[in-house]
Amino acid sequence: MAEKIVWSNKFRKELRKILEYLDQHNQSNVYSTKLIGEIVEAFNLIRENNRLGKEASMTDVRIVIVDKFLLFYKITSKELIVLAIFDGRRNPSSQKMR
């Protein structure tokens, strides 16, 4: 079990953009607040069972889906590292992992 969750800068930036868009689009933060709760819950489950989700094409990276969003992560001996979040409705070629 990973001792702690580490949120990458890339993940933080992309999540902030997504949340700002959703708040503006919905004229409310209700959905954004719910989404954050679901993301945190998903990673708490992954801490307990690090084999959740699907293997990504990159070595040691896995993907889990929360609502319409793909969350990329990897596990080390002590940390669960959250790498990126992608909107599953967008064109994958427009989104870069690195």
Q: What is the pLDDT of residues 61-71, one digit of tens each?
A: 999 999 999 99
Q: Which residue has the higher pLDDT, 41 or 91?
A: 41
CB-CB contact of 62 with 54 (8 Å)? yes
| Tokens (6 digits) for 32 | 């954004």
pLDDT in tens, 44-97: 999 888 788 899 888 899 999 999 999 999 998 889 999 999 988 876 565 555
CB-CB contact of 64 with 42 (8 Å)? yes
- Structure confidence at residue 36 as a pLDDT band (50, 70, 90): very high
pLDDT at 98 (0 to 100): 46
